[in-house]
A = this chain, B = another copy of it.
Amino acid sequence: MNYCSHCGQPLISRIPEGDNRHRFVCDHCDRIHYQNPRIVAGTIPVWEGRILMCRRAIQPRHGYWTLPAGFMENGETTVEAARRETLEEALAGVRIEGLYTIMHVTHIDQVHMFFRASLLDGEFGAGEESLEVRLFAPDDLPWDEMAFPTVQESLSHFIEDSKKEAFPVRVTDIQRRLGQ
């Protein structure tokens, strides 16, 4: 962040009065430009005991398997964001069953939230950001080709919790992987 998005003058980084963190501040129009974490919302879509996953057609992690998920937009709820991303990436309509995982990915300033979901009619397909979309039996999940730690963690909890048929909301922290 170099310039003020309001008046176009150069920004400086300093601790504003009454604050305790460095912010990007414009001394021309006195605006403070805060930066905050973003929410990624997605689903674990289930159809007849199998889980719908998407193989990514985009970077990062091109070719790896993910759950349908993406950045929440202004004007929508996390539930709406999760449902929209599932429609866009897997061309699948879902009923949201409940919030399941909230995972902090602090090294990239993101909060990932996954919802349990059921396919409405078993229909799905590859959206623009997916190479292919497939249903996986719990025993056949592509553990060695998962795109992101939050996808892997949500699915491992889900498989375990499915055996007990109880799905408590899980709030966890995701650490940076070696090499990232």
In this assembly, does A27 line the interface, its C-beta being within 8 Å of a C-beta of chain B? no
Is the CB–CB distance between A33 and B5 below 8 Å? yes
Residue in chain B with minimal CB distance to A171: B99
Query: Which residues 71-128 of A sit at the B interface, judged by CB distance below 8 A?
Result: 71-79, 98-99, 102, 104, 106, 109, 111, 128
A interface with B by C-beta (< 8 Å): 1-8, 10-11, 18, 21, 24, 33-39, 71-79, 98-99, 102, 104, 106, 109, 111, 128, 169, 171, 173
In the bound complex, how far is the Cα of B99 from the Cα of A104, in angstroms? 13
Which residues on B sit within 8 Å (CB–CB) of A8?
A: 2-3, 8, 10
What's the number of copies of this chain in the assembled complex?
2
Distance A75 CA – B111 CA, assembled complex (angstroms):
11
Which residues of chain B come closer than 8 Å to A109, judged between CB atoms?
74-75
Question: CB-CB < 8 A to A106: which residues of B?
Answer: 75-77
- Tell me how far the C-beta of A85 lies from the nearest C-beta in chain B, rounded to whole angstroms: 13
Contact present for B78 and A104 (CB under 8 Å)? yes
Tell me the complex Cα distance, A75–B110, Å: 9
Q: Are A78 and B128 interface neighbours, CB within 8 A?
A: no
Give the CA-CA distance A18 to B129 in the complex, in Å. Answer: 10
Interchain nearest-CB distance for A95 vs B (Å): 14
Contact present for A111 and B2 (CB under 8 Å): no
> What distance in Å separates the Cβ of A8 from its nearest Cβ neighbour in chain B?
4
Q: Are B111 and A78 in contact, CB atoms less than 8 angstroms apart?
A: yes
Q: Of B5, B21, B73, which one neighbours A5 at CB under 8 angstroms? A: B5
- With a cutoff of 8 Å between Cβ atoms, the chain B residues found around residue A75 in the complex are 106, 109
Is A2 within 8 A of B2, CB to CB? no
A20 to B35, CA, bound (A): 24
